[in-house]
Amino acid sequence: MKSKIKNAINNMNLHRTRFWIQLVVFVIFVYGGYFAIDLGSKLPVFACPYNSASAGACYLIPLQHQLSMPTRVLLGGAAISVIVGLLTFLAWFVFLNKAWCGYMCPIGTLQDWFTALRKRTGIRYSTYTRIQFEKLSKIKYIFLAIVLLFPLLMGVGLLGSQWSAAFCQMCPARIISPMLSGDFSQLTIDFSSKTAMVLTAIGIVFAGLFVIGSFVKKRFFCFFCPMSALHYIFSDLSVVQLKKNGSKCTRCGDCYAVCDMQVKDIADDVTSTNIIRDDCILCLKCVAACPEDGVLHFDILKLNAFSSTKEGFEKRMGMEKPYEGQR
């Protein structure tokens, strides 16, 4: 019985499963407000509260607001609210690790749908070269620094209130998420100060790049997402992990070929067992594409929940073609 369930899971059509999960979660996060769903404001995904129908709020918003409190307040009693906020965020995060990106994030889902659209139109996709990859991969840490440092500088008094939630002003999710519920009010440039003007103009440019970029490059924005960087810092705390048994790996490169995020270590690293990298979105496509028994496995509380099998690979080959089908 047990092995039967296990087999069924290992042989599942990940592509379809993931599509339905993403669709349901997308509806919850983007339109959940209509169903009176409120998941709080410490979510580890881009559930942007600028969209009034959102079922919750991205943690970066309260984080930036909290850190921008006057320093005396921040380092006084308010430090507790910052810590509580972080712990709430972590409480959400530990359940899914970076699968929050791969399965939950509405902005990530949106990018996957752009990709699906591109596939239908028959336009081929782009990839970065290794050198580009190495350089661009650092940008998310710059954004994370903006998220953390700018509010602190506001608290000290070095930056004015026009820098409030500076990252959000640049974030494409702020502009795109409200549009999903018919609110176009974020598609504006704020001329009230030079800072606001520059930041919102950057936001508009990023929104444009988001649309074009995610059309030609899979998961274009995830590569620059500060939330992804924040996730990675706490990744080891999570109860779910992606593990690799390097001794059985044949280094065929299937996993790398299907990886939306071009994480090279998934194929090349045969020594580390924990194979989650900062760019990983834990979409588990690599596990589904791995033709060897038990080389890649997705663990929940150290229990093997979904693992790569020869049988599963062969079953899935009809749907996921790592060589020909990928456009």
The torsion defined by the Cα of 203, 207, 212 and 213, in degrees rounded to 10, comes to 70
Q: How far is the CB of 70 from other proteins (least distance, A)?
A: 5
Q: Which of 212, 233, 303, 317 touches other proteins (CB under 8 A)? A: 212
Residue 325 touching other proteins (CB under 8 A):
no
Q: Residue 134, interface with other proteins (CB under 8 A)? A: no
C-alpha distances out from residue 152 to 168, 180, 255, Å: 15, 32, 41
Per rule CB under 8 A, count of chain residues that contact other proteins: 50
Q: Contact at 8 Å (CB) between 275 and 284?
A: no
CB neighbour list of residue 222: distance below 8 Å, 6 or more residues apart:
101, 108, 111, 228, 260, 261, 279, 281
CA 256 from centroid of its chain's CA atoms: 18
- In degrees, to the nearest 5, what angle opens at C-alpha 266 toward C-alphas 261 and 272? 135
209 binds other proteins per the rule CB under 8 A: yes
Q: Provide, rounded to whole angstroms, the least separation between the CB of residue 194 and other proteins.
A: 7
Per CB under 8 A, the segment of 21-29, 76-84, 99-107, 224-232 that binds other proteins is 76-84
Tokens 């939630």 found at: 165
Q: Which of residues 41-60 bind other proteins (CB under 8 A)?
A: 41, 52
- Considering only residues 147 through 186, tell me which ones interact with other proteins, judged by CB under 8 A: 155-158, 161, 164, 184
As measured in angstroms, the least distance from the Cβ of 166 to other proteins is 14
Closer Cβ to other proteins, 8 or 83, answer by number? 83
Binding of other proteins at residue 195 (CB under 8 A)? no
Minimum CB separation of residue 39 from other proteins in Å reads 11
Q: What is the DSSP letter of 277?
A: -
**Contact status: 117 vs other proteins (CB under 8 A):** no
Q: Which stretch binds other proteins (CB under 8 A): 66-74, 270-278, 290-298, 305-313?
A: 66-74
Q: How far is the CB of 227 from other proteins (least distance, A)?
A: 18
Determine whether 211 is exposed, middle or buried from the number of CB atoms within 10 Å of its CB (0-12, 13-18, 19+): middle
Q: CB burial class (10 A; 0-12, 13-18, 19+) of residue 133?
A: middle
Q: How far is the CB of 61 from other proteins (least distance, A)?
A: 8
Burial 262-298 (b: 16+ CB within 10 A, else e): bbbbbbebbeeeebbbbbbbbbbbbbbbbbbbbbbbb
- Interface pick for other proteins out of 201, 257, 270, 305 (rule CB under 8 A): 201
Q: Is 39 in the site for other proteins (CB under 8 A)?
A: no
* CA–CA distance, 31 with 134 (Å, rounded to integer): 36
Work out how close the CB of 13 gets to other proteins at its nearest, in angstroms, rounded to a whole number.
32
Environment class of 175 (CB within 10 Å of its CB; exposed 0-12, middle 13-18, buried 19+): buried
Q: According to CB under 8 A, which one of 56, 108, 213, 226 is a site residue for other proteins?
A: 213
Amino acid identity of 310?
A: K
Choosing from 8, 24, 76, 326, the residue that interacts with other proteins (CB under 8 A) is 76
**Segment lying near other proteins (by CB under 8 A), choices 75-83, 106-114, 277-285, 318-326:** 75-83
* 17 exposure class (CB count in 10 Å sphere: 0-12, 13-18, 19+): middle
Which of 7, 16, 38, 145 is the binder for other proteins (CB under 8 A)?
A: 38
Binding site for other proteins (CB under 8 A): 38, 40-41, 52, 61-62, 65-66, 68-78, 81, 85, 124, 126, 155-158, 161, 164, 184, 187-194, 196, 200-201, 204-205, 207-209, 211-213, 216
